[in-house]
Amino acid sequence: MMIHWAWIILIASFFTICVNHSIRIGAYSVLLPKMIQTLGINMTQAGMIRAAFFITYVFFSPLMGWLTDRIGGRFVISFFCLFLGAGTFLMGQASSLFTAILFHGIVGIGSAAMWAPTVTLIQKWFGAKRRGLALGILSTSSPLGYGLMGVILPTIVINYSWRMGWYLLGLSGLILVVVNAFLLRSDPKEMGLLPWGEVSKSIPFSSESHSSIHYKDVLRQGTFWLIGLSYSSISFGTYIITDFIVTYGVVELKLQYPVASAFISIMAFTGIAGGFVLMSLSDYIGRKRSLLIIHSLVTFSILLIIFVAGYIPLVRIGIGVFGFLYGAIWPMYAVCARDYFPKEVGGTVIGLFTLLYGVGAILGPIIAGRLADVTGTFRWSFGLGALMALTAAMVIGFLRKPKEF
């Protein structure tokens, strides 16, 4: 029996997200302490570099969603891997705050085409009762990517430099251009197939019935704003932790660089299990209930990291709990787009969600960096992250069962 092409799509997407998050989270978090030393920047300026990534990421994400709905994920993902790879390679050439901001902004353009188009593609290839499973598997790719960076990059930095880390990841991004162009297909119909796990009578929406849906129709939905505001709050809170956790270990906890870098690996490898377990569980208990549990426990895990700072084993436990939960957050919101809106506008909805997500992702690192510079500690910055995670839980609590669009 031949393997359904949905699984080929999932494998290619797995490696795409893995490399993307190696660059997007792992490289920045692990290489940041060394970049700060070489470039002579403070925490606020480090947050500005990060914000440049998310500004372009947010600006281009709605375009990526729109393009995916109209010309297909295959072209969008393959083409913009050029920006991901080239921008990452150029990060190794950064010689000042300005050039680092410019090059990280290019990375953001490419990264904008990795997540929304990819999860939209996966949801087209897998049936309604298999999306949680498929995205649960996909969710393990991102923590695997940035988790490996906590193990690999310190060795590269010690033997070569932080610039070499960016160079190697840039080449990996460029290789994705060929991989995705060769393996991806935008829709099962192109190959005369149904989504894996579906029979024809179970397909819930027809393209004709929703062909007239536009941005304004989505924006009129209160459901969109509840999910989007929760998304914005959790991105604000969690990126504070992921961006600064290694720097926190080096600067505040006075740990050796390889030891502090392992924090991101702990976060990532627990996230592999968490993404798969929690996404699969959400197929049975629902996305709203899952997000309420996740965000409440994220708040607890951040507070644990803050209050046990003097005892490193407990810090590691707090990071592990955070990572287990973090692994499921982003695919959970992606599935919400498909659960609450028709598949024909899935890419559009995820792209619009990303605008609100990006507001939090842009503001979080800058405000957290500024707080750390002013107070001389990350405790207040991390506490703000916990507060925003709690806010995300409170907002999603108002979400109601999906109705026909």
Say what the pLDDT of residue 206 is.
42
Say what the pLDDT of residue 160 is.
93
Say what the pLDDT of residue 134 is.
83
Say what the pLDDT of residue 192 is.
75
Read off the pTM: 0.76
Nearest by Cα to 310 from 254, 374, 268: 254
Q: Which residue has the tokens 């914000």?
A: 51
Burial class (CB in 10 A: 0-12, 13-18, 19+), 307: middle
Nearest by Cα to 404 from 346, 341, 343: 341
Say what the pLDDT of residue 371 is.
94
Say what the pLDDT of residue 104 is.
96
Distance separating alpha carbons of residues 345 and 132, to the nearest angstrom:
19
Tokens of 330: 């982003």
**What angle (nearest 5°) sits at the alpha carbon of residue 23, between those of residues 17 and 27?**
140
Q: Which residue has the tokens 């890419």?
A: 347
Distance separating alpha carbons of residues 32 and 292, to the nearest angstrom:
32
Q: Which residue has the tokens 């393009």?
A: 67
Domains of the chain, each with CATH number or no CATH? 5-187+214-396 (1.20.1250.20)
Say what the pLDDT of residue 58 is.
84
Say what the pLDDT of residue 387 is.
96
pLDDT in tens, the chain (405 residues): 578 888 899 999 999 999 999 998 888 889 988 999 899 999 889 889 988 998 998 888 778 877 887 888 889 999 999 999 999 999 999 999 999 999 999 999 999 888 778 888 888 888 777 777 787 788 778 888 888 898 899 999 999 999 999 999 999 999 999 999 999 888 888 777 777 777 665 444 444 444 455 667 677 777 888 988 999 999 999 999 988 999 999 989 999 989 998 998 899 889 888 877 888 788 788 888 899 999 999 999 999 999 998 799 999 999 999 999 988 888 788 778 777 777 666 667 777 887 888 889 889 988 999 999 999 999 999 999 999 999 999 999 888 765 554
Please enumerate in sequence order all residues whose Cβ is within 8 A of that of 403, keeping only pairs 6 or more positions apart, or say none.
none
Range list of H helices, 248-311: 257-285, 287-307
Burial class (CB in 10 A: 0-12, 13-18, 19+), 164: middle
Q: Mapping DSSP to helix (H, G, I), strand (E, B) and coil, where does residue 213 land?
A: coil
Q: Which residue has the tokens 């894996």?
A: 196
Say what the pLDDT of residue 343 is.
65
* Contact between 169 and 88 (Cβ < 8 Å): yes
